[in-house]
Chain A
Amino acid sequence: IAGITQAPTSQILAAGRRMTLRCTQDMRHNAMYWYRQDLGLGLRLIHYSNTAGTTGKGEVPDGYSVSRANTDDFPLTLASAVPSQTSVYFCASSDSPGGMGTEAFFGQGTRLTVV
């Protein structure tokens, strides 16, 4: 089934550990995004990539890093997890990063708990 796949679907992580959330899309979309969603808050952009080989910082990038080695994959790494990074993480992609009216497609999310 075409779309975006995230892994793992959920994870409990000890504080201070390193963790990579995986995201793969097969729609050949240029742009990819990582958001976090917390109760009572809107989706907040962590990092984005407009095309393979480029990345940019979003609203809440601290403590996170990304890479975009190819079109399909956009992993998100937490270098040293802290409890405030407990959240649901969504990966998304869209066909054209700068295009108006570009619909974003979302993965099913990763529920991360840092203890």
Chain B
Amino acid sequence: GQNIDQPTEMTATEGAIVQINCTYQTSGFNGLFWYQQHAGEAPTFLSYNVLDGLEEKGRFSSFLSRSKGYSYLLLKELQMKDSASYLCAVQDSNYQLIWGAGTKLIIKP
């Protein structure tokens, strides 16, 4: 079966760095996405990785290792507004997105 695993909840301090991990087992691989979802709102796109390595976009970076079925989202200089759920999704061989349950990130002052 297809499976995406990510921690249920994480807590970090304002101004710090946090790494949210995602491991996957899917039928084929055509890319990995990270989305941010604030409570009661729609998911919004953060990043996309299809090749191994690190993609940096401002305070957010995403890493992929296809051989390990592993990705992480790195958030630097955390701000209170970063409190949200972070969703990992893999595009399978049929180009359909398989979603993890999301990681709820709590930022404390």
Residue of A nearest to B101 (CB): A42
Band of interface residues on A: 20 to 34
CB contacts between A and B, total, < 8 Å: 50
Interface size on B, residues (CB 8 A): 23
**Contact, CB under 8 Å: B42 / A43:** no
Binds A, one of B10-18, B44-52, B61-69, B74-82: B44-52
Q: Which residues of A contact B45 (CB under 8 A)?
A: 103-105
- A68 at interface, CB cutoff 8 A: no
Residue of A nearest to B88 (CB): A42
Residues of B within 8 A of A (CB): 4, 8, 30-31, 33, 41-45, 48, 50, 87, 89, 91, 95-102
Residues of A within 8 A of B (CB): 35, 40-45, 48, 58, 90, 97-101, 103-109
